[in-house]
Structure 1
Amino acid sequence: MKKSFFKLLAKLNKALLPSYTKRRLDISKASKVQLAIIGWRAYVTLNSLD
């Protein structure tokens, strides 16, 4: 149940949130909001994997 929820959430993140790796964002120059989005995406990705 939990894993399927995170898989769905990961698909929503991919569709709705910006991808900073494609934009070549420098982490040291990222704003607090950008860092929060990066952290959220990492959290969801880690929980959706096996």
Structure 2
Amino acid sequence: MKSSFFKLLAKLNKALLPSFTKQRLDLSKASKIQLAIFGWRLYVTKRALD
């Protein structure tokens, strides 16, 4: 149940949120909101793969 929720959430993130790795964003120069989005995507992806 929980993993299917995170898999759905990961698909929504992929469709709605920007991909900073494809944009070649330097994380040392990223704004706070960009770091928050990056962290959120990382958290959801990790949980979906478990």
User: Could you tell me how far 1:45 is from its partner in structure 2?
Assistant: 0.4
User: What is the aligned partner in structure 2 of residue 39 from structure 1?
Assistant: 39
3-state DSSP class of the match of 2:15?
helix
Could you list the structure 1 runs, at least 4 aligned residues long, displaced by more than 3 angstroms after superposition. Answer: none
User: What is the aligned partner in structure 1 of residue 10 from structure 2?
Assistant: 10
TM-score by length of 2: 0.97
TM-score by length of 1: 0.97
* Aligned-pair Cα RMSD in Å: 0.5
Equivalences, count: 50
State the identity as a percent. 80
Give deviations 1:4-46, integer Å, cap 9, x for gaps: 0000000000000000011000000000000000000000001
